[in-house]
Amino acid sequence: MDIVVSWTGSTACAFQRAYRLTNESFAAQLRIAPRTVAKWHATPDGELSSQMQRILDTAYAEADIPVRERFKLLLHPPRETQAAALRVAIAVVLRGTEVLLVQRRDAGPLAWQFPAGIVKPGAAPESVAIQEAHAETGIHAAIREHLGSRIHPVTGTLCEYYAAEYLAGEAVNRDALENAAVQWVAIASLTRFIQPDRIYRPVLDALGVSA
């Protein structure tokens, strides 16, 4: 069995994915508060407390072999898997005190999202973010800044996040096959649409939203 030298938010989230549990179920298994698991997702680079290190060490030692094997693959994926990782560009489009969201037709926890599109080899992710925002919603926007990138804790997708400023256009659902709705949402109400633990921390910071 591999030894985890130091647990961080990222490794703890990978362990959760290996178990295939929700935040609440994983917290119940570890006998900790769900908000603790949510904090790991929000601060993936943060080193956990010594008490939490011991809790996770014990849980890892007691985990079934399939769980440990999945955890190992999540931490050290084969090179060919890394090369083929799906890359997505995400546009966080702002209009004053509002942010643009699309509602996916799936019924899962990711139903409401920021506009996003797959980055094909050779394509510039910032261009994809703007193009997909327009293709999905009819909104024209301009990139303001790159907010960062991460492996999404739920989907495992490599995500590139861009803050963008609204330029023109009316928000309409231009991709009815994938999306059920398009909506400008007050930034102050964002976490009613997307759980804060599922939003990339730099996005929350850029919007001035406290998790």
pTM over 0.75: no
Q: Are 100 and 114 in contact (CB under 8 A)?
A: yes
pLDDT tens, residue by residue, 130-169: 999 999 999 999 999 999 998 887 777 889 999 999 999 9
- Residues 115 and 118: their CA atoms lie apart, in Å, by 11
What residues are paired with 165 via a beta bridge? 94, 142
Is the pLDDT score of 170 beyond 50? Answer: yes
Two structure tokens written together for 82:
């890394």
Is the domain spanning 83-207 CATH 3.90.79.10? The answer is: yes
H or E stretch covering 94:
strand 87-95
Strands 87-95, 158-168: pairing is parallel
**CA-based torsion, 4, 7, 8, 11: positive or negative:** positive
The ranges assigned to domains in the chain are 9-76, 83-207
Is the pLDDT score of 46 beyond 60? Answer: yes
pLDDT tens, residue by residue, 68-95: 888 888 887 665 444 446 889 999 999 9
Q: How many Cβ atoms from other residues are within 10 Å of residue 40's Cβ?
A: 25
Between 105 and 29, residue with greater pLDDT: 29
